[in-house]
Every structure is written in structure tokens, then in C-alpha cells.
A and B are shown apart, each in its own frame.
Chain A
């Protein structure tokens, strides 16, 4: 029969008369023990050898144990120093004896606690006596240490237990495997075995020569861990944003793009937000110190927006009883929501007039001058989307958002009537957390008011919604601190270990 080289070596070295330990086989065959073990198991499967296992205890000295083997047990050294000080006759001062013994630190306490236990003498009132009849040379513990230090072994028993308690020896268990030839093994060996060639690496020569047909490939431990590879990867929040964009493009939405630093006019006035609305005067607005104002706004649009604020739109409309000032509208800020993109697109300012029906979206940054903590960032990604068509109803709005959230495994959307200055009707969207089952707010939506659309020149209905991307990401990745996800405080380890989103 043909066998790999290592198996033949083991087969030829093993004996049919007595079991040979793997270590002995390894020494005899000059193979690593793990190779011998592997070969032995392979041979056992063929029925050529028997592998027996037993558990061996090996006793070895700890660092402390080795020190005592070399320099003597502390209590023995103390006894010797006491004898020198004549403590066998008269009690001697302890400090002097300890000083002479050369013991230091913890060894002093060890010496004192074992001294009396072993009957070397007594310690009383700061003085030490030595029993002249004591026999340190016969100390069983010292003898055992010497034995172990000299590569000897130690039987189980009280002395071993005592040494283990003192932390001077360690008892380790190891599995010893022994290999013995079976009858079949002997038979095969008699009949003769040939070496099957094994190779490690597939080489160009091997392939071109055709030799690969005759060789056996060395087997690897295919279960062992390989080295860690840090490949490049897309940021987990970016993956989420790509996923959202995929879904929206699939639903027929076209992407918007526009300025981050923009005039309040586009961010708020075009949204029919009164200029004295708390959100516009509130400190969470990121007003710019430099530059301060936009150069130009479309004049006729400014006029129409101002009129809507002051007088409302339609025969039965009325405006806000609030001041309106163009200078205030021209002031620059980092956009508090990406709805500024929607107003730019709806007005025709960004890409020219848009004919209905149309769907637009963005997944872009918005800014809030607010607290930075585990659930709040100063900058976050807002998903913004709107649909423009004739005669849109609340039911269309509900159907669109149900479809969108269902793509992320969030079903059973609930619509809670809500108030926004720029939409009517308005709804907060609630959904069930896919793992915790908790009802959580996942967005804000509504149908844009006519006071907003008419000045922008839009003559049909537009429904819109928004939510924070991070919120969706925390929901689907289970991240607990939003700062792990986004920003310069990011932990590379977290990002490297984050599960891929798709």
C-alpha cells in the first residue's frame, strides 16, 4: 500500500509489543509531535495502529520554588541564623537574627509562620529561640524541592499538597497519547508499504510537467485561525445611506443637491415659517458669522413669499401676524434641514421648472446647534423626499411611506396627526423597532401647504417627509452611541467590526 511519508515513519517506528508515547515517536522519527499525532490518527482510521490516551500529571517548581531549592527554605535559613546567634542556648533578639539570615520582604513572614509549625523553635516578645534537636536536613519539604529541582519526580501525598499550598510547585495535567501497532499494521508492514509523495505548494513546474497527477498534497490544519486582514471598507453609515438611495431610486425618486450654507429664505421663509417662529430665533440655529448674507435672491419670489407670510394665499387665506424682513431672510446659516433643497428645486431655482409628476430626494447633512451626546449630533444626515402630482391624498402619502419603511423591515407604520408650519395635514410616523418591539418615532411628514407652494409657483400637490439617517442606522445596526458611527471620535475598531449593511 501507499502511505504518506510521515505515516510510514510512524508505522515503522511504532512497536507491536508495547505502546510508544507520541513524544518518543517524534524524537525517533525527527517529526514534530503534532505531525506524529496527525499521522497516528490517520493510521488508526486505516486500522493499522491503536492510539491510547492517558492523562499525566507533571509537577514542576514555580519561580519561588526554584529559588528555595537553590537557597533553602526561608524557615531553614532563619533556623540557621538563629543557631549562629546562639539562640539554642539563650533567646536572641529577632531583628538581629533576621538581619543575619538575609531574608527580606515577604520571605520574612513566610519564615516566621513556618518556623514554629515545623518545631524549629519559638518566637516570643521579639525574641527567638532555636530548638537544638530540630533537624532541618531532614525537612521533608526541602528534600522534595531538591528532588524536583534535580529532575526527579514526586509521588502524590501530604508533602506535595503542602508545597502546592505554599505555591512552590505547580501540578499540570497533560494528555499523553501512545501508539501501538495492530495486527493488521504488522501485516501491512510485512507486505511492504511505499511512500506516497506529498507536496506543499502548487508550482508552475508541477502543473506544466503533469506531475500533479501523481502527488498527494500535504494536509493543512484547515480549522486553525488565519492572520487578521484589515481590508478597506465603506463606512457603515455610508453603506446605510447608499441603501436608502437605492431604495428611493428604485421608487422613482431623483436626487437633489445644493448648498449647505444657505440663506434663511430658502431654509425657512420659503417653507412658510414665520420669522418670529421660535425655531428661527432659537439658539440651535447655526447662523454664520462670516459670511453674513446671501448676495442675491430671486426678486419676484421674495415678493411672493413675503406676501404669503403677510396675507396668506387664496381668497380665504390669511397670513401670519408676524413681522417679515428681507434682511432677516437673506441671513446665512448652515441649513437646519435639507428642506432648503426642496424649496430650491420646487421654485425652479436649482434645475429649472419641474413638471409634475415628479419625485425627488436627498440624503444629505443638516446642522443643529444643540447638545452632542449619545443620541444627538451637531450634524446629521437627513433623508428628505417629496412627491409632486395632481390631487395627492393623505392615503397616497401613507402608501408611499409604508412602502419605503417596509424596505427596512419596519412595518405597521402608525400615523399620528401632528403640526408643522409648512405642511397640512401633518403626521409623525411611528414604527415598531424590529428587535425590541418598541414603538418609536421614525419620521415627520405631510402635504406642503398652499402658502408654501403657491409662491414657489407649484400648482399641484406635493407631499413630503423627512427623518434622520442615523436614527435608521441605529435601528438597524443596534449601535448605542451615535458618535461611534459618525465623526472624528469614531472608533476604528467599531467601524472594522461593524456588520455590513445591504
Chain B
């Protein structure tokens, strides 16, 4: 489970609860599902979090949730934003693999060391979770004062006529450009470096570059962000040193690039909320795609319609409508009662979104609830329209709202009850047959074993002197593992005898006789099966003791055949794992389903065994 580090002093300050002891805070955090794992070296709490509430990846978000928990905050709060000054212009040259960008300007931040650490942690945790290790979304945060937008440039050095990419950027507004560049087209000084490097060189020479090289290795053109001075960021790999953020930074430019507009917009919202919680002012940024424009951050809210009845049945309690509204507000949501599926009286918080084909096909779901009928339409049922704040990324369905209400109510305050639902239980036939076979084997004196289904080729075949696909019982073609963790477990076993011999090998220091059996899984390739794998259960048995011989194995096999009322014949047959002349096919009710015999000395010696071993193995199905 992922963890997040939270400084308890900061938490006290941001929640306004200076009086809370560390222990009280830990208890309150547990209530939010943030489990205290221990202290970090910097005296912060290390908290384990469930990866749904990604708005709690920093002390600011955790503090916000705690203020709701304490009752200090209620309902939805959306910070205001100032009108856009800056523009991100998206060039046609942007790599197709990473077409999306978003951004915001943050003014008047007051970042001390703790604040900066928190911002960096939030960035890292968002990368690790929503950003899918930067593949889906990557964040770049820059010191705004180090950026030179278009008109600043025009005023000072109008002469630079060789502007490489002509743009349709708004006249008079500062602009940065998201473009695609050839791997060695341009140079910049990346973070943690003194050298000017091309993007291709960054991927080879810079530590962070090497770490993230895989993300762009298939790209023809690399993503790059320019201001009028030049290249300053190489997303999703690394930023330039010029715009590095420090505790002296007052104004920030936050940009995010990715493979999905919704994802990076939500990541941006989480960052904006965190910085706003520290007193910063948010400012819109225009994102100009070749075919349309967005204004970001998108802090519009969403709504979900939740039926009162569903809340009551899912939680198993009766609730007053006012209680529901109270629980919603304590969860940081707003709820409005509507009857009969009517639309809520509209001071609707839904802002119409920019229509952009393709780009918004999934990011634009916010507007949909208004036009759709809802579950409770025209039945006179009590329904709530619940407003979801823009930092929430986990509310996909009205169910998720009910979960929030349940948490606010306190799940542990619910009284468990055994459901009054009558059903008839029973075992699967295969499982009954397995148990019956096992019981008979134990009655015959076998110690029942339970081995792994996975094995390696050497043990399954070579050490028993058989070849994959050979015409011998147990030597079918294997289903193999793509990237095995251990070289001892690379395939599904095709028979149980190799496992049983391995147990004998590992127990030569234990008392004999060792009569071991297993009714267990075996599988082999079979293209007649839908999965391409024929899975079955085998009955395997070994008799290891100083006088074990063919007849001992056959005697027990006969007993099993008698128990299950099947005819047993054992016509002589060669099998590489057994001594010639002392091996036979196991034919049950006329079907050749296994092998019985004395294990060949070369197989015994291979397993460091110094006693004879008689064995049999056959398909469990044959006992039906």
C-alpha cells in the first residue's frame, strides 16, 4: 500500500487544532482510513492510504478532510480564480502519444521549507498514482518569474525574426508553447545538472532521464515546452534548471502533460486546492489547441443523483432526510432534496464546458446529468442531488456517495445482522471426488501432501528422464510463465510424480517408510480447450522404503479400483521414469489413464534417494 508523509505540526496548523496530541491525530487519521505506520526520520507521520482519495496525498488535503471530520468545514468549497493572463499554445508538432496539456498560474505563494517539501511530495505521489508513473500524466512546476512570455520578449528584443514556430497565440498575452522536437534538435540545462543537453542526451546521461527514458523511447518527436527564451521543460522526463522552484518563489506556473485530458485536469485541481489552502491565489490559463481553446483549471463541480431508499437499504438503517444532508455536508459534499426526479432548482454549479471534439469526449461527462433522466424518475421517490467538489477523482457512481455518507455516519456504529436469506449449500462434485480419493489413500496408509502447482522444466521432465511432448504419461507440453519470479517455478506441472519425488528428496533424513500421496492439480497444453490449457486432477502416490516394490504399488492401486468400483488392468508398458519390465499402464474401465511401476534407479540417484520407490499416478476423473 502506498504511503504519504505528514508533518503533525503542519497538520495542527492547517486544521487549526493546535491542541490535538500526536496520538489524537493518529486516531482521527485512522478514522479517515489513513493508518499510522510509523515516524519518518524528519519526525513526520508515515501514513498508509487507500488509493482512492488522491486528494489526500499532501498535508493540505489531509487537513481539509480532517476539518470536515471535525465539523469545522461543511459542504463544497471552490476557490475562486482570476482571469487568464498566460496561454499555453499547443503546436501541431506535439507527439501524438502525448497530446494533452493543462496548466494554472499560482500567485503569492509563501513557500517555506515544509511547504516546498509538501508540494514536492504531492507531485511525486500524484505521479505514482493517477499519473501511472508519469505515463498518463506528468507535472511540471516552474518559477513564473523565470519565464519570458511573448510580449515581454517583443518589448525587449523585437529583432528575433527567426521564431521557429509561428503561432496563433493571443496578441498581448504571455505564452508558452507545448511542441514536439527532434531528439537532438535543441539544448537546455536540466535540473540537477550543469551541462546543456539535448533531450536525447538527457535520456542517456542524466539519472532522471535514464529512469524515465522508457516513457518516450518509442516517440519520433519528444515533448518539449518553450518560452521565448527557449526550451525549459522536457515532459514527462525532467524540467529545466532555469525555472526551478525554491522557497523564494512567489509566483508559479504549473503545467501538466499526458495521455488523457481528464486525468491531468484532475491532477491539476488537486495541486491547485493544495496551494490555495496555503493562501495562494489561483489564476486561469488558456490552453490553445490547434482546433480549440480550454480555460484551466477546471474547478467546476459535478452532481450525482442518489435515491434516499438506496442509501437506507445499502446502510441498513433508517435516516431522516436532514440527516442525509448533514452527513453529505460533513463529507465535503452538498446535497439538495428533490422529489419525483425533478431537477434541482438551479443555482446549478455546473458550468458549461468548452466543446471540443475528441479532446473532451471523456472529460466532458460532467454536464451529462442534466440532460439524462434519472433512476427515480417520476415515481415520487425522495432523491438527492449531490454536488461533488472538483478535487474528487473517485466518485464514479452514486454508490460512491453512499460510501461517503456511511463513513461520515461511522460504519463501526452499524449493528451487524445475519441476513434472513435461505439458501442450500453443497460441495462441487469434483471436490467431493477429490475428498473421497484422499480419504481412501489415507486409509491405505499414505501421508497426504499438498504441493505447488508450479514447477520448473528440469524437475518436471529432465530429472524424471522424460521429454516434453513425449508419448509417456505425465510428459505433456507445458503451459509456461512469461516472467517467472523464480527459476524454480516456470510452468504448471504436467504431473504430480516430480513433486512427490522432490518431497522424498528433501526428506531423506526423516524416518522411513515414506508413503506419500497427492490428489492434485496438473495441466498441459491442449488446443481443444478454450484457454488452450487442459486442467485436471491427478492421483499420485509413492512408496519409499527398503522393501518397496512393484507389487506394493499395484496392491494399493487395486484397492483404490475396488473402492471406486472400476476395473483395473495393468498391461506391461515402457515408461522412461520406471524400470523396464516393472512398469505398466494403468487402464481403468478400459481407458489408459496412468502409469504404475518401480521408479528407475537413475531417477532415484538423481534425487539422492537410497531406497527403492514404487509409484503410481492416474487421472482422478477415471474414478468417477
Contact = CB atoms under 8 A, between A and B. Distances in A.
B530 A294 contact: yes
Contacts of B481: 286-289, 334, 369
A394 interface: yes
B417 A316 contact: no
Interface of A: 228, 230-235, 237-238, 242, 245, 248-257, 259-263, 276, 278, 283-284, 286-291, 293-296, 310, 312-322, 332, 334, 357-359, 365, 367, 369-372, 377-379, 387, 389, 391-396, 398-400, 402-403, 414-419, 424-427, 447, 449-451, 485-493, 495-496
Contacts of A395: 315-317, 414-417
Given A319-B396, A370-B485, A419 B431 contact: no
B523 interface: yes
Contacts of B398: 314, 316
26 contacts: A235-B449, A248-B425, A257-B428, A259-B531, A260-B521, A276-B132, A276-B136, A287-B483, A288-B479, A291-B525, A319-B362, A319-B396, A322-B260, A332-B532, A334-B492, A357-B421, A367-B453, A369-B481, A387-B421, A389-B419, A394-B414, A396-B418, A417-B406, A419-B52, A450-B399, A487-B452
Given A235-B449, A260-B535, A261-B535, 15 more contacts: A235-B447, A252-B421, A254-B428, A257-B428, A261-B492, A290-B478, A321-B260, A322-B136, A357-B422, A395-B317, A396-B419, A425-B406, A490-B451, A490-B503, A492-B507
Interface in B495-512: 499, 502-503, 506-507, 510-511
Contact of A394 (B30, B33, B406): B406
A276 B423 CA distance: 38
B438 A291 contact: no
Contacts of A315: 305, 369, 372-375
B214 to A, nearest CB: 13
Contact of A400 (B419, B449, B453, B514): B419
Interface string B411-445: 11011111101111111101100010011011111
Nearest to B444: A232
Contacts of B515: 232
Nearest to B261: A321
A249 B52 CA distance: 35
Nearest to A446: B403
Contacts of A276: 132, 136
Contact of B423 (A253, A287, A393): A253
A232 to B, nearest CB: 4
Contacts of B365: 318
Interface of B: 30, 33, 50-53, 132, 136, 260, 262-263, 303-305, 313-317, 362-363, 365, 369, 372-375, 394, 396-400, 402-403, 406-407, 411-412, 414-419, 421-428, 430-431, 435, 438-439, 441-454, 478-486, 489, 492, 499, 502-503, 506-507, 510-511, 513-517, 521, 523, 525, 527, 530-533, 535
B374 A254 contact: no
B448 A235 contact: yes
B452 A242 contact: no
Given A291-B531, A379-B453, A425-B411, A371 B425 contact: no
B125 to A, nearest CB: 13
B482 to A, nearest CB: 4
B479 to A, nearest CB: 6
Contacts of A256: 428
A238 B450 CA distance: 8
B485 A371 contact: yes
A234 B442 contact: yes
A260 B419 contact: no
A195 to B, nearest CB: 44
B480 A288 contact: yes
B525 A232 contact: no
Contacts of B502: 488
A321 B261 CA distance: 9
Nearest to B505: A488
